[in-house]
Structure 1
Amino acid sequence: MKKLLMCLLLLPICFFAMVKADELNLLSGKFNLADLQRDLLPTQQWVPFPEYQDRAAWSELTKTVAGTLLNKGNSYLDYQWQVVKASDYLAYERTGSRIIMEKPMNENAIALSNLFLAELAEGKGRYLDQIINGIWYFTEMSTWSLSAHLPAFQSSKRTLPQEGTHVVDLVAGDIGSMLSWIYYYLHPEMDKINPEISKRLKKSIQDRVITPYLNRNDMWWQALAGKPNQMVNNWNPWCNFNVLTCLLLIEDDVEKQRAGIYKTMQSVDKFINYVKADGACEEGPSYWGHAAGKLYDYLKILADATGNKINIFNQPVVRNMGEYIAQSYIGGDNWVVNFADASAKGGGDPYLIYRYGKAVNSTEMIDFARYLQNKRKPSFKSDRDIFRSLEDLLSLNEIKNGSGKLPTNSYKWYPQTEFLYMKDEDLFFAAKGGYNNESHNHNDIGTFILYRAEKPIFIDAGVGTYNKKTFSSERYDIWSMQSGYHNLPQINGHDQVFGASYKAQDVSFDPKKKLFKLNIAGAYSSQAAINSWNRSYQLKKGVLEIIDKFDLKTPTVSNVIHFLLAGKPVISGGKIALNGGKYHLEYNVAEFDAEVEAIPQSDIRLSQVWGDAIFRLSLKAKKIKEKGTYIFTVK
């Protein structure tokens, strides 16, 4: 019977494991199920944190933050657990709002995590009743998944939880992972009160996370359905990490546990295979913590659980993925390179960056983590990601042992992802090639951003608060996704088009000349009638020169060159004053008419970054030409 169970569990895995010869498969290609069976340790041997009963160890581990942990826990002793109503789920269908459903659920999760950490720090059972209330609340819920995510995984394609269906999305995984740690640490204490609590908790985690993961290969983020050229983004390592945590801490059936763990290894391989060898995160720095950062979490807990036998931190692509976050940092008010949906402000979690840097032996990451930490007030945050909170406790003192600094290289070229960062005097320039179906894609092939003295001049707006349109067929109705609201041309009346076939061509970078060139014609539809549109960027002693050389078939509409600006420009002849006149954009006034449009930022996700408004400068060609060259200079 056990052999039959193993075959049934592995049959879909083996079937969907057929891969192209050039795929890395760093986990399942290097390690097999027999390795996992041999090396997997009992839970008590691999968990790197003290046992609940070891009060001396917990006192030592939390000594610098115990007051914070207890104060937060105390603040939730009278917390009233919030109900997520049916109408909250329906709101996503009716109005497109996600927040109505997500806010109360997330607040409940944060309350439970703070109560749990306080109990670990104090160890007197004072928070136990409220923890049990939280457990009871979550096990009473119909689903741990978000209303915005349910339609993709349910046959009903609706936002209300479907009877008899459980799916693993980002939040269901997070909740399952957090509750698994609570079960691991507190189930003996809860059993003293009533064994039904732990029994119910364990079954809920199995039913809502482990069983659907083992039984399904059609959850898109698993990337196990054999679809060619499938996008694999941050959902993959994030969800697989959570499933792995539940399997390690909850599952007692050894064969089912190991088969499930090996399945996560095959799935995570799909993410590593998808990421380019240069390690750049096409989703941008805001998503690094959920993409490369979650890969680190996954690989770390897998290495811990196997006595460091299954460990791929020495692989160059894993290191490259980590160092991307340091290279993408501009400075100032935590400005970062923010292509796609990423925010222009961030920098990353210094504790996570530090741990990742240690794992891949990157001095660059360790120095950057310390630089970030030294810029900030000492703090300890706790949310539903319990593993990171526990890991943070191990990093609190280590990260202080040394000074930090930013990377000193003058450029960083990502040849596969086609991202380029250049520094020259006090300029920080970034541009991209790529294609118009990247994860969290904007139609933005050939765009650039420019900062001077760590302040934004030419920008990428990013994305507003997620709603029903954000990840739907209406995504490119949103202004910030369109090429017309990036630093790009509208050619013959046409903006860029979404799709994997719309991509940059003839991309090259000359580090000696600090020159980046590409043909962006392939990003536009055939209706734009473009033979070629070659754009180049060159940095010369603190000056940026932009040259557009074009060849059109049958132009009928004037070209418009758009620039998105952080501050209001002032037009004066062939010079446009930027950032209060500190810098100027020079152009041929005989060739263009210039207009400025204010774009109010009423969405809080954007206004927190840019303030009340950003500005679009549009240079409209006075003549319709088949061929020509436009030159723009920023001084």
Structure 2
Amino acid sequence: MKRTHLIVLVILLHSLLWSSTHAQSLNLLAGRFDQASLQRVLQPEQQWVPLPLASDRSAWVKLFAPIAGSVLEEGNQALDYQWQVIKATDYLAYERTGSRVIMEKPLNENAIALSRLFFAELAEGKGKYLDQIINGVWYFTEMSTWSLSAHVPAFQSSKRTLPQADTHVVDLMAGDLGSMLSWIYYFYKPAMDQVNPEISARLKKHIQERIIQPYLSRNDMWWQAFELKPEQLVNNWNPWCNFNVLTCLLLVEDNPETKLAGVYKTMRSVDKFINYVKSDGACEEGPSYWGHAAGKLYDYLQLLSLATDRQIDIFNQPIVRNMGEYIAQSYIGGDNWVVNFADASAKGGGDPYLIFRYGEAVQSPDMMQFAAYLAEKKNTSLKSSRDIFRGLEDLLTIPKLAATVPSLPSNPHKWYAETQFLYLKQGDVFFAAKGGYNNESHNHNDIGTFIFYRNQQPIFIDAGVGTYNKKTFSNERYDIWTMQSGYHNLPTINGRDQQFGSKYRAREVKFDAKNNRFELDIAGAYPESSGVKTWKRSYQLEQEELVIRDIFAIDRPTKPAVIHFLLAEKPQLTKDEVILNHGQYKLLFDAKLFDAAIEEIEQDDPRLGNVWGKAIYRISFTAKKIVHKGTYQFIVK
């Protein structure tokens, strides 16, 4: 083989590998700033904190002025809060019954109580809430672990749910608690020391032992992404956990060398997340995960920028802006409906304050105006949560958001070419469809599915996901009905539904903006046993009518094709049409080709019931004949 041919082959193979994993070697942080550069710009101690000391009462009174009443009311309610004990059997429940909630609920309630006390004391500054804050600090430092029962096994040698002695790992909850307690240490160390210096000393020791030391000593926590395995995801855990570790390092760690090494390690780790995300910025996990993925990336980058006197700042990078604007583009309207592929909920919209800050950082008027639009619809008082940093930034954001003119993005379509998400808006229609592959983060086997709303109300839907349990993130995940392609707006081909795995992906994905047409071949999402050679599905929006067309070829089929649609409202079936949403719309089909059946799916899971009510509906069109090739068409009008 000639050398030039060999070079071309190597380049081609490299290109194919890149496209299959979609990782990019941008390395926008550690690739542009080495550790020596970080050392030169990292601010000493906590000089970077853009907030007054707790003792500066006039400054805090001004900051809390718009919301002081509600903050103090919540703090007063927490004055008599009884700290809940998390029992060994609460951790064991995850192994025994699959329940996560039994230990997560009381732990989160303890954290929220401490957050309310923190903000109330900051707002009033008279010591009224200090003893109860100390009780909370003491409670958390007496716990065996800050991690959740569902997360502990992945990081312990025992692979069991009960915490192992002297083993601390950083998961989402442990990180959140470490971050929250670091802010308590920063603001209230002088006041706690007046009571007894042992309190702050104990708190500092536990933050270092539970968060900082495990992070520095381990590279095997999967979310760090330092030891990536084939097909491993890099999802919202990465920026979320790294943000929490960075907070602890900047607020608590007083050894300059340890702090420098830790901060730089977070930069190398967060690079892995940015490299993983496609440059179009779409969130594979859906809008309800945006605040934990792109939103946490904002928090991390903002904190890093502050700590380096704005010298390490990448908010001007296109991928960072694209990740931010995704949340505004994915909003449908009405009762805060959003595009909800994967595990995302169909209701959300996002946090107006966070969206505004992100928009301000990346200079996106769409984001800032969208944030103001959401703020008009939502209760935007200070949130009681484990996320102290966001609460503090909210105080600075309130006046800016109030002065912003609200509006929604006006573009008629948004095409995420790499992630293969399409949003179309025409008149009162909002249509969204996806290609992609069946190993995206929080994946459902849903290549080629769509949702369809009119007048900001759902018609054809994606159910989303129920309450998390042991099955949700196990090898039994696809036993859950919401994860299966047969419960999306997709066909069952020759008795087979789509399969999980990176090799199951869309082919020949195209978007024709001029004709509002989206098409793809979904055959690659189905197993070989389906016999499907091609199944080209197209969606075309024509004057607010949606035409759905399937052109297919199947090798030696033995079972009829079944075309499924998932509906928000109970349909009515006539001879050749389906009446939708109480007669407002209809779905036309060829009665000569199909037998139609309607199934009611009761929503007894609270997470799904809160979105859809008591039931949703699936209508299935079963082909009357088994054919190896043909064309099916449906029209929504």
Question: What TM bracket, shorter-length normalisation?
Answer: over 0.9
Q: Which of 25, 28, 51 is the matching residue for 1:26?
A: 28
The CA RMSD over aligned residues, in Å, is 1.1
1:586-633 CA distances to partner (integer Å, 9 max, x unpaired)? 010000000000000000100010000000000000000010000000
1:289 partner SS: coil
Which runs of 4 or more aligned residues in structure 1 lie more than 6 Å from their structure 2 counterparts after TM superposition? none
Over 3 Å counting, the alpha-carbon distance change for 1:434 and 1:21 in structure 2 is closer
One-letter code aligned to 2:93: A
Find the counterpart in structure 1 of residue 238 from structure 2.
236
CA drift at 1:425? 1.4
Q: How does 1:145-164 map to 2 (within 5 A)?
A: 145-164=147-166
Distance 2:567 2:401 in 1: 37
1:222-272 CA distances to partner (integer Å, 9 max, x unpaired)? 000143442100000000000000000011110111111000000000000
1:78-116 CA distances to partner (integer Å, 9 max, x unpaired)? 111000000000001111110100011000000001101
1:120-177 CA distances to partner (integer Å, 9 max, x unpaired)? 1111111111000000000000000000000111111111001111000000000000
One-letter code aligned to 2:317: Q
- Give structure 1 stretches of 5+ with no counterpart: 1-18
Q: Which of 467, 470, 478 is the matching residue for 1:468?
A: 470
Q: Which of 361, 380, 383 is the matching residue for 1:381?
A: 383
Q: How does 1:335-354 map to 2 (within 5 A)?
A: 335-354=337-356
CA drift at 1:397? 1.2
Distance 2:131 2:201 in 1: 16
Find the counterpart in structure 1 of residue 314 from structure 2.
312
Q: How does 1:151-550 map to 2 (within 5 A)?
A: 151-550=153-552
Distance 2:536 2:509 in 1: 10
Find the counterpart in structure 1 of residue 17 from structure 2.
none
1:46 partner SS: coil
2:244 partner SS: helix
Q: TM-score under structure 1 normalisation? A: 0.96
Q: Which of 93, 96, 105 is the matching residue for 2:95?
A: 93
Find the counterpart in structure 2 of residue 579 from structure 1.
581
1:354 partner SS: helix
1:576 partner SS: strand
Distance 1:21 1:612 in 2: 41
Contact 1:340 1:440 (C-alpha < 8 Å) held by counterparts: yes
Over 3 Å counting, the alpha-carbon distance change for 1:220 and 1:41 in structure 2 is same
Find the counterpart in structure 1 of residue 11 from structure 2.
none
Find the counterpart in structure 1 of residue 124 from structure 2.
122
Over 3 Å counting, the alpha-carbon distance change for 1:438 and 1:362 in structure 2 is same
- Bigger mean CA deviation after superposition, 617-626 or 227-236: 227-236
One-letter code aligned to 1:242: N
- Identity rate of aligned residues, in percent? 69
1:581 partner SS: coil
One-letter code aligned to 1:181: W
CA drift at 1:43? 3.5
- Bigger mean CA deviation after superposition, 118-127 or 288-297: 118-127
- Bigger mean CA deviation after superposition, 37-46 or 161-170: 37-46
1:633 partner SS: strand
CA drift at 1:378? 4.2
1:237 partner SS: helix
- Bigger mean CA deviation after superposition, 116-125 or 615-624: 116-125
1:24 partner SS: coil
Contact 2:112 2:386 (C-alpha < 8 Å) held by counterparts: yes
Q: Which of 550, 555, 558 is the matching residue for 1:556?
A: 558
Find the counterpart in structure 1 of residue 7 from structure 2.
none
CA drift at 1:36? 0.8
Find the counterpart in structure 1 of residue 4 from structure 2.
none
1:580 partner SS: coil
Find the counterpart in structure 2 of residue 4 from structure 1.
none
One-letter code aligned to 2:445: N
CA drift at 1:432? 0.2
2:47 partner SS: helix
Contact 1:587 1:631 (C-alpha < 8 Å) held by counterparts: yes
Q: How does 1:576-615 map to 2 (within 5 A)?
A: 576-615=578-617
Contact 2:560 2:623 (C-alpha < 8 Å) held by counterparts: yes
Distance 1:576 1:71 in 2: 52
Find the counterpart in structure 2 of residue 9 from structure 1.
none
Distance 2:476 2:29 in 1: 37
One-letter code aligned to 2:384: S
Distance 2:496 2:380 in 1: 50
Contact 2:282 2:416 (C-alpha < 8 Å) held by counterparts: yes
Over 3 Å counting, the alpha-carbon distance change for 1:620 and 1:516 in structure 2 is same
1:36-72 CA distances to partner (integer Å, 9 max, x unpaired)? 1000112432101111111110011111111111111
Distance 1:632 1:336 in 2: 24
1:461-496 CA distances to partner (integer Å, 9 max, x unpaired)? 000000000000100000000000000000000000
